[in-house]
Amino acid sequence: MMRTLAVLTTALLFGGMSFYSFAFAAFLFSTFSPEVAGPALRKAFPWFYAFVSVSAAIAALLWWPHDGLATAVMAAVVVTTILVRQLLMPAINRATDAGMQRRFKWLHGLSVAVTLSHIIASGWLLVRIV
């Protein structure tokens, strides 16, 4: 039962991150002007990072008795998500507010790379158990 919950939680994490990254953000920017979409996305990001952190933490706890590697991968997602939320996201916001486009692009690219690595890691765990 716990292993099944671990798989489902990992699948929820994978699906939630994928949807947010590839559908929700694209929808906002294709539907609204950048002046509206940008602030809306800025308000949504803390919730996204909270979802990722909590889901990955629950998955790590559920994997713990069954799979050490899956536990470690999910724990790494938790730690790196917290770092992105607490350090990188404020730096991105400061760069945006200061009009530092080059710095924003670099920091945003880093946050995208981290999120993609989380999507790949959770997807890999799911494929690995099939």
> Would you state the pLDDT for residue 60?
98
In tens, the pLDDT along 24-70 reads: 989 999 999 989 998 999 999 999 999 999 999 999 999 999 999 99
Which ranges of 1-130 would DSSP assign to H, the alpha helix? 2-19, 25-31, 34-63, 68-83, 89-97, 101-129
Cβ(47)–Cβ(1) below 8 Å: no
**pLDDT mean over 83-100:** 96
Is residue 12 pLDDT above 90, yes or no? Answer: yes
* Residue in this structure with the two tokens 């699948």, named with its chain if needed: 11
Cβ(13)–Cβ(122) below 8 Å: yes
| Mean pLDDT of the chain, nearest integer | 95
Total count of residues recorded for the chain: 130
Q: 54: which 2 tokens?
A: 């909590």
**pLDDT mean over 97-123:** 97
> Would you state the pLDDT for residue 85?
96
CA atoms within 13 A on the CB side of 32: 13
Grade residue 130 by pLDDT with cuts at 50, 70 and 90: confident
